[in-house]
Homo-oligomer: A and B are copies of this chain.
Amino acid sequence: MDTWLDSLITDTPQQGFELAITLSRRGVKYTQPDPVVLKELRAHYANSADALTAASHVVAVNFQTVAAANNYWRK
């Protein structure tokens, strides 16, 4: 696989949150790399409250990691 993760350090908390989203999606992509299948599946979970909550849960776990890496962007 190509290089997609050089660092966990980001300038702002929001960029850190967006990195957490990337990590969550990559966690899926390593298991299912086919973009056509992924697009079909997205149609499902983007319209299911339970699936969206589960997705937000994974983002929250990854955001813990990114936030700790950045010392919570404390000034």
Contact = CB atoms under 8 A, between A and B. Distances in A.
Interface of A is mostly: helix
A49 B53 contact: no
Interface residues of A, number: 53
A13 B24 contact: no
B6 A31 contact: no
Interface in A38-60: 41-42, 44-60
B3 A67 contact: no
Interface of A: 3-9, 12-14, 17-18, 21, 23-28, 30-32, 37, 41-42, 44-65, 67-69, 72-74
User: Which 3 pairs of residues, A with B, have the shortest CB-CB distance?
Assistant: A27-B56, A69-B72, A5-B14
